[in-house]
Homo-oligomer: A and B are copies of this chain.
């Protein structure tokens, strides 16, 4: 029993190293990401990689779930600002997530379809995290009330599909998110 705990900690550490390596490769490399590349960057052997993720799809799905969890956790991490500023900073983070998630999601979609419970589950997770933030910002009178969270997220996701480097896409996102704010010169 005594040497079981270090082994579990090792296994957990390896799993995290593999996911971090895969996330980095997906974010930065142009072509296909191979299992061998993931193992090399994570500095683990192929046996360890395949013990954690028997197939490429297992790795992709874990990566996707992991990123959804990160974006959900980042909602509770932000604090100390106004409800509107909080929502806006979370939406910017959600956009970054949509950009990196997109490649992983596209790879998963090659083998499955959008009705996969993986996608539905992640959407409802994100919605339940974002809903109280939007409600608070609307109640504070900072954010317009004619949109529900689904529309706000669809807007951010749509902008994440625009082709171009971040310097091109980010000002578009800034403008669209600014459009959610209640503006005091509405007659312009």
* Interface residues, chain A, with chain B CB atoms under 8 Å away: 82, 84-85, 142, 144, 146-147, 151-152, 154-155, 158-159, 161-162, 164, 168, 171-172, 174-185, 188
Contact = CB atoms under 8 A, between A and B. Distances in A.
A179 B177 contact: yes
Number of copies: 2
Contacts of A84: 188
Given A85-B188, A142-B188, A159-B158, A180 B183 contact: no
12 contacts: A147-B171, A147-B172, A155-B175, A161-B161, A174-B179, A175-B180, A176-B179, A178-B179, A181-B185, A181-B188, A183-B183, A183-B184
Nearest to A159: B158
